Each structure stands twice: as C-alpha cells, then as structure tokens.
C-alpha cells in the first residue's frame, strides 16, 4: 500500500487539486506543500460551504492532519497570517497543526511593488502574474540576497540584512519604474512582528518528513499551479517561477525520490489558462464561452476569467512522462454535459509538419495548430455520479479515450465541486 502520494496539476493550473488533496487527506497523517506562493488558490467545497486556501495545505480541513510548508515555497507571512486567522475564526485549529521550514524564502513588500511595476511597464508583453511578488522573491532567492524564515527570528542581524536589500530594490523601484521608495523602519518593523508571530511554527520540515516516513505514516505532497507552468519545462517565459513538476517535491521539501510512491496527475476534462502565453486549443467561439460559463472559470486567487479550450492530449501525454504519473484524476467532467460534439487535440501542425509531442523551443508554441479528433457528446447529466455505471455511455467512452491517448489510467473522476462528488476507480492510498 502506498505511503506517500504526490498530487500535482498536469495542465496550466486550476485543475482542482485542492479538492482532491482535501479528499485524500482524510487518510493522510500529513500534507506538505512543496513550491509556489500565495499566487495559488485551492477551492474546497464541503457541504456547500466554500473555502479558498492560498498557502495552507488543503489537508487543514481534515481533523488531525499535520500541515507542512516546505522550503520550496516563497512565503508571504502577512498573507499566511490572514489565512490562519480567517480559518481560526471558523473554528479550525491551524497554528497547532502547521509547521514552516526555516528555509522558506520570504516575500517582502518590495517584491510586490516590483512585480506590479514590471507587469505595468511591459504592457502588451506582460506575462500575466498575480502581482503578489512571487517572481521577484524567487529571483532574490537565486541571487542569494533574499530573506528566509529563519532570518526573521533573529532581530540582532535582521536590520542590517533588510537595509542592504532595501537599498538595492529602492534604487530599482525609483530609478527604473518611478515608484516611491519604501521606508526602512516600516519594512523592518513589520518583518520583526511577523517573525515573532510565527516563531512557534518554524521547524525542521525535512526532518519531520523523515520521522513520518520512518514511522510508516501516510504523507501527501501538494503542488501549486500546473506542470505546463514549470520554470524549466513549461511554456517559457509564460510560466511561474518554480518547479511545479514532480522533481520539485524533492528540492522543495528535502526528501529523496524514494519518498514518492505514487503520483496523481490532476487534469480537467478540458483545458483552461489564466494570463498570457500560448494555448493551442483555446476556443474563441460559443463552445469556449459555454465552457467558461458552466465551469465558472474565474481564478480563485485573482478573479480573472480563465481562457478555455478543448483537451490537449499532446501536452498531457508529455506531462504524464515528465511527472511519472501513476494515475489521473479527471475533474469537471460535468462541464461537458450537453455538448453535441467534443474534441480532443491529438497532434499539432507546425510549419507544415505534424508533431505528436510539444516543441522543445517554447516560442514555437504560439504557432502550433491543433489537430482534432471529434467524439460524440452526451445529454444526460454526469453531475454527482459516484460510479462509472451512473455516467452516460459517451462520458465513459470519453474517459477511456483520455486514458488511451494520454498514457495513464483514470483512477478518480470528480463529478462536482463538493468533497463527496467523486467516482473512485482506484484509491491511491490502497494501491
């Protein structure tokens, strides 16, 4: 039986990972987040009540589950505090169950200012970031000038570190973007206050994961965004700033690859994308508008409308290989209810050639022409089905086609937003 499961997105994010982490964490002892920041938004619906999480692992709504934030996360402590206090107001015990790596890179106020100023300056070439400072925080981490959680716990040295970093960023903000510089004392005071607030939550997350493994406990590793947004393997430069693929589990929590027993790839029954960047199967017609309406395709973090398109089996097949996907969870199948015809992209055309894999040159993505195969839709509702037998026959055929085209079995089907609206073909922890 599997002890450690990775849950990650196989598209451009927004696949419904939060719901599935919440579902599976009923049988987990701990859930560890391994990358990203509060640009992620995981929406959970439990008995009709919606909760949106940005930094706290989605296992927090299952009683007794430990929630770990690994070193690969860039952390806005201000946003995390707000999220904790909102949950605690609802009676959810958070601070007694959450642990934060001392090596998390910290998002500071100057990172947010830089992020927004850059996007505005780029105009039509803007990447479409959330403006929350994620990219600039990762840049400081790689440049070895960033602050870590542990720095905020040491008032004796924090002042000098903040002064040096702020001098650099204030110069860029003022001279390059015409933004008023930040006040050192105000930035330092906020950082010190947040450090004290979280002092009791900072612990050796990697060491805790080793202990859990040695004790035979069940662990889930939770990703943010999706594989096609990976900084190395995604549609660069229209990507996020971290490794959203399975390798990020090891670097972002400090465990070895032997700690991964199963990879659950989350994919919508169609595709969406937020922000800029290439999207070969994007629809600009009534079908696309219908997907957006029925799927309520607006970002949980920003509220931005998501672009919609037919399923891209070519990209999905590559992400299965890249992540070593053991099984799929297909979400939002019910959004396809009522379509007369449903299409799947099975190949691309580029400069007169047919491709069965995405181009290695990311800039070529913009010139891809999808090659579609059409499949009959279904009129009966799939919403809330809890067994394959309850699905319309054409919906079952669609899932079988996904398996054949993309190279992994469908182990779970989400048939609605609520925690209990699922078909479980194979339960990941039981395999």
Divide the 431 residues of the chain into consecutive groups of 10 and give the mean pLDDT of each group: 92 91 92 89 68 84 93 96 92 93 97 88 69 90 96 96 96 91 95 96 97 96 94 92 96 97 97 92 96 85 83 98 98 96 98 92 90 97 96 98 97 92 95 82
Please tell me the distance from the alpha carbon of residue 97 to that of residue 82, in angstroms, as a whole number: 16
Which residues in the chain are classed under CATH 3.90.170.10? Answer: 266-430
DSSP one-letter code for 96: T
Which of 22, 27, 29, 42 is labelled catalytic? 42
- pTM of the full structure: 0.92
Please tell me the distance from the alpha carbon of residue 224 to that of residue 194, in angstroms, as a whole number: 24
Which residues is 69 bridged to in the sheet?
A: 33, 100
User: Sign of torsion, CA 95 226 414 286?
Assistant: positive
Which pair of structure tokens corresponds to residue 95? 């601070």
| Active-site residue, 169 included | no
Confidence (pLDDT) at 431 = 82
Angle at 16 between CA 11 and CA 18, to 5 degrees: 125
The burial of 290, by beta-carbon neighbours within 10 Å (0-12 exposed, 13-18 middle, 19 or more buried), is given as middle
Please tell me the distance from the alpha carbon of residue 254 to that of residue 272, in angstroms, as a whole number: 31
Q: In sequence order, which residues have a C-beta less than 8 Å from that of residue 33 and are 6 or more positions away?
A: 55, 57, 67, 68, 69, 70, 73, 222, 223, 224
DSSP one-letter code for 296: T
Closest CA to 377 of 423, 343, 428, 416: 343
Confidence (pLDDT) at 300 = 57
Please tell me the distance from the alpha carbon of residue 424 to that of residue 422, in angstroms, as a whole number: 6
Which pair of structure tokens corresponds to residue 306? 């998501």
**What is the fold, at CATH topology level, of the domain defined by 105-198?**
Adenylosuccinate Synthetase, subunit A; domain 2 (1.10.300)
Which residues in the chain are classed under CATH 3.40.440.10? Answer: 4-101+202-262
Confidence (pLDDT) at 175 = 93
Confidence (pLDDT) at 246 = 98
Q: Give helix 155-177 / helix 109-122 axis angle, nearest 10°.
A: 20
Q: Give helix 109-122 / helix 184-198 axis angle, nearest 10°.
A: 120
Residue 325 and residue 10 in contact, taking contact as beta carbons nearer than 8 Å: yes
Q: Where are the alpha helices (DSSP H) in 16-76?
A: 17-24
Cα end-to-end distance, the chain, whole Å: 5
Confidence (pLDDT) at 176 = 92
Which of 14, 22, 140, 230 is labelled catalytic? 14
Which pair of structure tokens corresponds to residue 272? 């969406």
Confidence (pLDDT) at 299 = 65
Which residues in the chain are classed under CATH 1.10.300.10? Answer: 105-198
CATH architecture classification, 266-430: Alpha-Beta Complex (3.90)
What is the dotted CATH code of the domain comprising 4-101+202-262? 3.40.440.10
Confidence (pLDDT) at 185 = 96
Give how far the C-alpha of residue 331 lies from the chain's centroid of Cα atoms, to the nearest Å.
15
Which pair of structure tokens corresponds to residue 217? 């406990």
Confidence (pLDDT) at 304 = 74
Confidence (pLDDT) at 40 = 63
| Active-site residue, 230 included | no
């Amino acid at each position: 039986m599997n002890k450690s499961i990775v849950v990650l997105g196989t598209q451009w994010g927004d696949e419904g990972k939060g719901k599935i982490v919440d579902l599976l964490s009923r049988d987990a002892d701990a859930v560890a987040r391994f990358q990203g920041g509060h640009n992620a938004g995981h929406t959970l619906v439990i008995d009709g009540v919606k909760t949106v999480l940005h930094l706290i692992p989605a296992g927090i709504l299952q009683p007794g589950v430990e929630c770990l934030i690994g070193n690969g996360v860039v952390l806005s402590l201000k946003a995390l505090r707000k999220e904790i206090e909102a949950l605690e107001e609802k009676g959810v015990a958070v601070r007694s169950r959450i642990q934060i790596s001392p090596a998390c890179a910290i998002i500071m106020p100057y990172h947010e200012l830089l992020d927004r100023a850059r996007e505005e300056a780029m105009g039509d070439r803007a990447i479409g970031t959330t403006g929350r400072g994620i990219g600039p925080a990762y840049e400081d981490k790689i440049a070895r000038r960033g602050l870590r959680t542990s720095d905020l716990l040491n008032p004796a040295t924090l002042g000098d570190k903040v002064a040096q970093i702020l001098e650099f960023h204030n110069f860029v903000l003022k001279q390059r973007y015409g933004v008023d510089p930040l006040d050192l004392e105000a930035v330092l005071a906020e950082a010190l206050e947040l450090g004290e607030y979280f002092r009791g939550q900072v612990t050796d997350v990697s060491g805790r994961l080793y202990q859990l493994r040695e004790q035979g406990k069940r662990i889930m590793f939770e990703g943010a965004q999706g594989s096609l947004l990976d900084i190395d393997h995604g549609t660069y430069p229209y990507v996020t700033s971290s490794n959203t693929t399975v390798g990020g589990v090891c670097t972002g929590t400090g465990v070895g690859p032997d700690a991964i027993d199963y990879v659950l790839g989350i994919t919508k029954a169609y595709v969406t994308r937020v922000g800029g960047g290439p999207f070969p199967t994007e629809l600009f017609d009534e079908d696309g508008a219908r997907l957006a309406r029925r799927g309520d395709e607006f970002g949980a973090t920003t509220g931005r409308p998501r672009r919609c398109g037919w399923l891209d089996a070519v990209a999905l097949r590559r992400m299965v290989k890249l992540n070593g996907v053991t099984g799929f969870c297909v979400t939002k199948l019910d959004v396809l209810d009522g379509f007369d015809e449903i299409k799947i992209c099975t190949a691309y055309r580029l400069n007169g050639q047919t491709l069965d894999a995405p181009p290695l040159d990311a800039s070529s993505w913009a010139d891809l022409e999808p090659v579609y195969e059409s499949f009959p839709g279904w009129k009966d509702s799939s919403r809330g089905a809890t067994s394959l037998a309850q699905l319309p026959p054409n919906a079952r055929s669609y899932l079988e086609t996904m398996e054949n085209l993309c190279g992994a079995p469908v182990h779970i089907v989400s048939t609605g937003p609520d925690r209990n609206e699922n078909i479980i073909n194979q339960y990941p922890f039981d395999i």
